[in-house]
Amino acid sequence: MSAYIDNFLQTDQISLLFLVIGLGYLVGQIKIGSFDVGSVAGVLLVGLILGQFDYAISPVIQSLGFTLFIASVGYQAGPKFFQVLFTQGLKYLVLALVVTGTGFAVALGMSKVFGFAPGIPAGLLAGGMTSTPTLAAAQAAVQAGQIPIPEGLTTDELIGNINTGYAITYIFGLVGLIAIIRFLPRLLGINLTQEAAELERQTINADESKNQKASRTILTRAYHVTKPDLTNRRLLKLYEMVPGEVTVVKIKRDHEFVPITPDTTLQLGDRVTLVGYLNQLVGAWDALGPEIAEDDLLDLPSESAQIVVHKLKPKGLRLKKLAISENYGCVLSKIKRLGVNIPLKPHVKVLNGDVLWLTGPQANLERLAKRLGYLERQIDETDLITMGLGIAVGGLLGTLAIKLGGLSLGLGSAGGLLSAGLIVGYLRSIRPTFGRVPAGVIWLFTELGLLIFMAGVGLKAGQTFLPTLQSVGLTLLISGVLVTCLPVIIAYFFGRYILKISPVLLMGGITGSMTSGASLKIVTSEAKSSIPALGYTGAYAFANVLLTIAGSLIMRM
């Protein structure tokens, strides 16, 4: 039976691939305390184990995963990358440069000190920084023939060194980064919860704080105004009591509907229709009067939709100024930027490239979309024409190179695909009918592409993992610890005292510079706020580009 299974896995690479992904995803769900192993680490571990038995997948399959992953990363980062680059991005660009530059210098320096074999420095940098784009770029540079193969090594052996260096250092990179992100503020006596609260107090009034644990279900209800508590007050004042939580969409006075503006007032006897969060609507009974069921009040052609923002000025517009509930009768439930949820605070700016999740009357949503951007309704369709041609052009860009002395300089396939993704993503943000790829599809391409690539890395590295671990394991692990820790420490003090970034945004920016979503979760948990996500998205787009360049560059050193 074992011989049959062995032969099956040796000959059926697709089944082998999905076995590694499935088992790896299962391993990734294991929790050690509050720490998740994670899908990437799980797939890498399973690949390393099966690689000991000489199982492998075709480089073509691995390249497909690499292509989907890198192109999707660029597509997600495109709107934010160019917007931040042209406006307020200098601080976060510098922060990402400090993190990437420090990691690069440490990896290269330790490799020179310990005399690591060719390819190991790139794996060390990628693993210590937990950066898959770095690993992918290093491999792509070798496969494209841009890197001279050292005497005595083959292309496969050089790539094997990259993979093994990555596999040995990645696990500590993952665990160590989370640990240092968790404990560095404590060691420095910084209370992230207080810092986040203080940052909010500096920009919003105390009475605008909201109960984050309340029910987030959005409903439509009608009430008969029989209590004087909220009468004779402008709707604008009422909205300030529950900002963004409830909006009045209909007012029936006697037998006629009253036009609604921010200056409209409620009167005793009015019948009103509210759209908002469940917890606020339940409280409306105490403030307004009994709930009623009248067809003409509840017959509301409302819907939930997404608006892709692309019509704002480069510096964006604060939520308080936009006044979505007051001016448009809609409820905002979520803002996503680079796939990360942004806090719904009045002082937070809406930027081009953001996606707003809204519920409200159809006419109001369309009116708001005219102001902000594009109303996304056909969210199941993917523009495969743009996607296919974009990837093909990205591959072509990666082949272009110029000769500088004896050195061939070019983007490489990773840089080419990333550049194409950035451009398509940016063009999508300013012309939303172009290059549509729904969020679910982007997640699938990014996650599945990454795991396909990591399965190939694990299987390949498994073949040489133990011999390399025995020969340079200790020195490589020490080097990996330094590559993980030093960039975080140096970036913190540089960002705090040179760039003058607040601690809570800085910790988010550092996790973005390390492209670590797992670490961002730790920061937001410690801060008890989603404010760090603003720093994360500021640095993340730059970091992906810089770390991709670093992976190709370190192979030339």
Q: Please say whether the beta carbons of 305 and 374 come within 8 A.
A: no
Number of domains forming the structure of the chain: 2
What pLDDT is recorded for position 452?
Answer: 93
pLDDT at 214: 40
83 vs 276, more confident = 276
CA 87 to chain centre: 20
| pLDDT in the model for residue 210 | 41
Region 360-389: what's the mean pLDDT? Answer: 81
pLDDT at 89: 61
363 and 431 within one domain? no
- The pLDDT confidence band at residue 143, using thresholds 50, 70 and 90, is confident
Last residue of a domain, one of 339, 357, 376: 376
Enumerate residues 6+ apart whose C-beta is below 8 A from 33. Answer: none
DSSP-derived secondary structure for 397-428: HHH-EEEETTEEEE-HHHHHHHHHHHHHHHHH
According to the model, what pLDDT value does residue 532 have? 85
CATH, residue 42 = 1.20.1530
What's the confidence (pLDDT) of residue 204?
45
Mean pLDDT score, 144-162: 86
237 contacts 381 by C-beta, under 8 angstroms: no
Contacts of 317 (CB under 8 A, 6+ apart): 349, 350
479 and 408 assigned to the same domain: yes
Residue 205 has pLDDT above 50, yes or no: no
Work out the pLDDT band at 281, boundaries 50, 70, 90: low
CA 214, distance to chain mean position in Å, is 25
Residues 257, 352 within the same domain: yes
Question: Helices 155-187 & 439-462, crossing angle to 10 degrees?
Answer: 120
Instruction: Give residue for tokens 């009468």.
Output: 231
pLDDT of residue 492: 95
Both 372 and 434 in one domain: the answer is no
pLDDT of residue 108: 95
pLDDT of 122:
94
Q: Summarize pLDDT for 449-489 with one digit per residue, the tens.
A: 989 988 988 888 888 788 877 777 789 999 999 999 999 99
Over 50: is that where the pLDDT of 147 sits?
yes
pLDDT at 91 over 90: no
User: Based on the domain organization, do 363 and 216 belong to the same domain?
Assistant: yes
Evaluate whether residue 204 is within a structural domain: no
- Report the pLDDT value the prediction gives residue 102, as an integer from 0 to 100: 96
Q: Identify the H or E element spanning 235.
A: helix 235-241
The pLDDT of 234-248, averaged and rounded, is 71
**Section 88-108 average pLDDT:** 89
Q: Which domain holds residue 147?
A: 2-196+384-554
Q: How far apart are CA 353 and CA 426, in angstroms?
A: 8
Say what the pLDDT of residue 119 is: 92
pLDDT in tens, 250-270: 899 988 888 888 788 888 999
Residue 432 confidence (pLDDT): 65
Predicted confidence at residue 213, as pLDDT, reads: 39
Place 279 in a pLDDT band, splitting at 50, 70 and 90. low
514 pLDDT above the threshold of 50 = yes
- Domain membership of residue 201 (yes or no) is no
**Could you tell me what percent of the chain has a pLDDT over 90?**
19
Token readout for 462 is: 């498994």
Q: For a pLDDT cut of 70, what percent of the chain falls above it?
A: 87
Helix (H), strand (E) at residue 113: helix 90-114
With respect to residue 292, please indicate whether it lies within any of the assigned structural domains. Answer: yes
Is residue 203 in some structural domain? no
What's the pLDDT at 80? Answer: 67
Same domain, 244 and 357: yes
Higher pLDDT, 78 or 552: 552
Domain boundary among 330, 351, 376: 376
From residue 496, how far is each of 95, 103, 190, 373, 544 by CA, in Å? Answer: 10, 19, 12, 36, 22
In angstroms, rounded to a whole number, what is the distance separating the alpha carbons of residues 41 and 45?
6
Q: What's residue 406's pLDDT? A: 55
Any domain includes 202: no
Is 350 in contact with 312 (CB distance < 8 Å)?
A: yes
Report the alpha-carbon distance of residue 169 to residue 477 in Å, rounded. Answer: 6
pLDDT of residue 215: 45
- Identify whether residues 174 and 125 lie together within a single domain: yes
Q: What is the DSSP string of 302-341?
A: EEEEEEEE-SS-TT-EEHHHH-HHHHH--EEEEEEETTEE
pLDDT tops 50 at residue 127: yes
Pair 37, 130 in one domain? yes
Q: Is residue 137 part of a domain?
A: yes
- Give yes or no for residue 109 having a pLDDT over 90: yes
Higher-scoring residue by pLDDT: 136, 80:
136
Mean pLDDT over 201-216 rounds to 45
pLDDT reading at 313 higher than 50: yes
| 299-303 long-range Cβ contacts below 8 angstroms, 24+ apart | 300/220, 300/249, 300/250, 300/273, 300/275, 300/361, 301/361, 301/362, 301/363, 302/220, 302/249, 302/275, 302/359, 302/360, 302/361, 302/362, 303/359, 303/360, 303/362, 303/365
Give the model confidence (pLDDT) of 28-70 as tens digits. Answer: 888 776 667 788 888 989 998 998 888 889 888 988 988 998 8
Which residue type does 318 have?
R
Check the CA dihedral 376-377-379-385 and report its sign. negative
224-237 average pLDDT score: 82
Task: For residue 95, tell me if it sits in a domain.
Answer: yes
Close Cβ partners of 156 (under 8 Å, ≥ 6 residues apart):
none
Question: Are residues 327 and 439 located together in one domain of the fold?
Answer: no
- The two tokens of residue 185 are 């503020």
pLDDT > 50? residue 222: yes
**Higher per-residue confidence, 506 vs 308:** 506
Which range, 100-104, 219-223, 508-512, 524-528, has the best average confidence (pLDDT)? 100-104
Helix (H, G, I), strand (E, B) or coil at 251: strand
Residue of 445, 460, 439 whose CA lies nearest to 67: 445
